[in-house]
Amino acid sequence: MLTCKDVTHLLSEGQDRKLTVAERVRLEMHLVICDGCSNFRKQMDFLRTACQRYVDARKHDDRPPR
């Protein structure tokens, strides 16, 4: 079974590369039982979405950044 530290590492790694099937299965098993890691995943998803929206908005804005 993965530790919370392992899970946070895998969630971060998953941002940069595709996780293996084994990694995804172990990750999902842990997330089913760990509210803390599930919340961490939601926070990472939120931040990724917010950053992507910011980048997309900047592409259409000719003003210099503040």
Q: What value does the mean pLDDT of the chain take?
A: 93
pLDDT of 30 reads: 97
**Distance separating alpha carbons of residues 40 and 20, to the nearest angstrom:** 20
pLDDT tens string 40-49? 999 999 999 9
Above 90 in pLDDT, residue 29?
yes
**Distance separating alpha carbons of residues 52 and 50, to the nearest angstrom:** 5
Torsional class of 48: left (φ above 0), alpha (ψ -120 to 50), beta (otherwise): alpha
pLDDT tens string 48-65? 999 999 998 888 777 776
pLDDT band, very low/low/confident/very high, at 66 (cuts 50, 70, 90): low
- Domain residue spans of the chain: 4-59
